């Protein structure tokens, strides 16, 4: 039996960790989880658990803490293997060169981690495991990706108990599930396009679990954990209308709990689909607008959705009394202040229940990163270390009025929910950026988050306070326009 300790500093439940832990446990290994920013507490956990492997989930921005912590762990114990998985090492595999990193996992992590744990347990060689890059002394072994998991039903249900040691999660009543893996779209700001390229020729990219398997997991969670609302976190739950409608019939007859899902306006414009969602007890749907400028949305963002489709989707959802959250961005390349207000105006027009807005992050390797570099708005040498830990930081691109545009993000939700305040917002955002803007945003965001996902007020407030560091992250240096 190998002992694996998952480490993270953000108070959030990661489906990836839960899936990997479930498969590891099914193969006889022991898994533990620690959430902390305190290196002394982490070292105490290491002394207590004595893990063979310390595994970090890492997104770009959060990777800085991961690398620093991994380095501290290696200074304490050279024998423990440090493994970094998730989005960051998948797209930035050069992190394997960092002093504190022994192994990185690229792409899907379930079977690579089982192979690694088995090898460690049996004292076998680890340098040839697919999906893993392994550093041994001065040598780095770069292994190819294995095929994608085609039959998602073969994976065990998520190990939700690994997070239940923390009361914040133990008493949570909205639980996350996925029915599929993969996204059918290729938006220019997203890594999905890059992931499709990495897995080209390695199996069907867009895969779905069987209805029986999904329903079985929901029932199991309902019987063993607090569960009042089901949250389907698929990139696009609504991409296959026929499958969705058949699934919803089964869901209604066997579960019939309020649920949340993600969709797109080109699907939600279909009234029959929206009606089916409502009949199956859908509470809320989340979909992306991104920009209120249709030309920007279709051209620069490669999101082939029209204003008309967005308006029709909203009408359908309003007709069947399904609340909806919209995803928006500000600070896009070549975006003007009036473009941002067009995005606000579109959200006001469709009467968005739960507006959500981030500051555009130009992730390296995406088409929109290359576009920003080509337009002279971003240096090609921009390091991932410059990225913020959350989507609500500051802009990295250099263009006119970018600080005012970032300020608008702080008041975006306020302006959409209370349109009468829009003239005041237009004046306030011209002031210098300050901590009060961020605190106001955090307050409004908190209440929108609770209502949109039907979260428990007390426990959500607690882990919001613990995650406050990500909202209050200091601004990094940026070239002046």
The token pair at 171 is 């008493």
The token pair at 343 is 């995005």
Name the residue ranges covered by the structural domains of the chain. Answer: 3-142, 166-471
Band of pLDDT at residue 385, cut at 50, 70 and 90: confident
Band of pLDDT at residue 392, cut at 50, 70 and 90: confident
166-471 CATH pick, 3.80.30.20, 3.40.50.1950, 1.10.1370.40, 1.10.260.30: 3.80.30.20
Is residue 444 scored above 70 in pLDDT?
yes
Q: Average the pLDDT over 214-230 and give the result.
A: 97
Measured CA distances, 306 to 149, 255, 337 (Å): 34, 35, 21
What pLDDT does residue 475 have?
56
Segment (H or E) for 425: helix 422-428
Q: Mean pLDDT for the chain? A: 94
Band of pLDDT at residue 473, cut at 50, 70 and 90: low
What pLDDT does residue 47 have?
93
Instruction: Note whether 329 and 291 are within 8 A (CB).
Output: yes
Is residue 388 scored above 80 in pLDDT?
no
Q: Average the pLDDT over 238-247 and give the result.
A: 97
Is residue 170 scored above 80 in pLDDT?
yes
Of 67, 27, 368, 345, the closest CA to residue 191 belongs to: 368
Q: What is the pLDDT of residues 69-92, one digit of tens each?
A: 999 999 988 899 999 999 999 999
What pLDDT does residue 471 have?
55
Instruction: Note whether 429 and 337 are within 8 A (CB).
Output: no
What is the pTM assigned to this prediction? 0.94
Band of pLDDT at residue 469, cut at 50, 70 and 90: low
Q: Average the pLDDT over 26-44 and give the result.
A: 95
Band of pLDDT at residue 45, cut at 50, 70 and 90: very high
* Domain 3-142, CATH class in plain words: alpha beta
Measured CA distances, 43 to 32, 56, 102 (Å): 14, 15, 18
Q: How far apart are CA 82 and CA 135, in angstroms?
A: 10
């Amino acid at each position: 039996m190998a002992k694996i300790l998952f480490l993270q500093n953000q108070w959030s439940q990661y489906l990836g960790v839960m899936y990997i832990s479930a498969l590891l446990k099914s193969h006889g290994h022991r898994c533990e989880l620690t959430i902390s920013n305190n290196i002394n507490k982490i070292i105490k956990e290491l002394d207590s658990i004595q893990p063979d492997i310390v595994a970090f989930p890492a997104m770009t921005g959060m990777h800085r803490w991961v690398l620093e912590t991994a380095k501290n762990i290696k200074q304490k114990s050279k024998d423990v293997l440090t493994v970094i998985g998730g989005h960051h090492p998948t797209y930035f595999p050069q992190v394997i060169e960092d002093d504190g990193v022994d192994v990185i996992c690229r792409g899907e992590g379930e079977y690579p981690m089982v192979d690694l744990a088995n090898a460690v347990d049996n004292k076998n060689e680890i340098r040839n495991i697919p999906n893993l890059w392994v550093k041994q002394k001065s040598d780095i072994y770069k292994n190819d990706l294995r095929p994608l998991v085609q039959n998602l039903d073969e994976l065990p249900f998520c190990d939700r108990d690994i997070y239940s040691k923390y009361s914040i999660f133990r008493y949570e009543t909205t639980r996350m599930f996925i029915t599929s893996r993969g996204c059918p779209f290729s938006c220019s700001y997203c890594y999905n396009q890059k992931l499709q390229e990495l897995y080209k020729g390695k199996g069907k990219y867009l895969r779905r679990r069987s209805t029986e398997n999904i329903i079985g997991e929901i029932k199991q969670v309902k019987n063993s954990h607090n569960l009042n609302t089901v949250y389907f976190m698929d990139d696009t739950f609504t991409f296959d209308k026929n499958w969705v409608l058949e699934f919803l019939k089964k869901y209604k007859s066997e579960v019939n709990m309020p649920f949340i899902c993600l969709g797109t306006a080109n699907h939600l414009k279909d009234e029959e689909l929206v009606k089916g969602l409502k009949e199956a007890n859908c509470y809320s749907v989340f979909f992306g607008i991104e920009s209120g400028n249709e030309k920007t949305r279709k051209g620069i963002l490669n999101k082939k959705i029209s204003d008309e489709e967005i308006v029709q989707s909203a009408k359908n959802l309003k007709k069947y009394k399904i609340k909806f959250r919209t995803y928006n961005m500000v600070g896009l390349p070549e975006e003007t202040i009036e473009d941002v207000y067009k995005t606000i105006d579109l959200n006001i027009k469709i009467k968005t229940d739960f507006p959500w807005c981030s500051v555009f992050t130009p992730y390296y390797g995406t088409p929109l990163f290359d576009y920003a570099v080509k337009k002279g708005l971003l240096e090609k040498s921009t390091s991932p270390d410059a990225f913020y830990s959350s989507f609500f930081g500051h802009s990295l691109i250099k263009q006119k009025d970018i600080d005012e545009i970032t300020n608008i993000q702080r008041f975006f939700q306020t302006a959409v929910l209370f349109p009468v305040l829009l003239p005041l917002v237009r004046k306030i955002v011209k002031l210098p950026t300050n901590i009060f803007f961020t605190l106001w945003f955090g307050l409004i965001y908190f209440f929108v988050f609770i209502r949109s996902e039907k979260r428990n007020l007390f426990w959500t407030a607690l882990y919001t306070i613990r995650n406050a560091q990500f909202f209050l992250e200091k601004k990094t240096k940026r070239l002046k326009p």
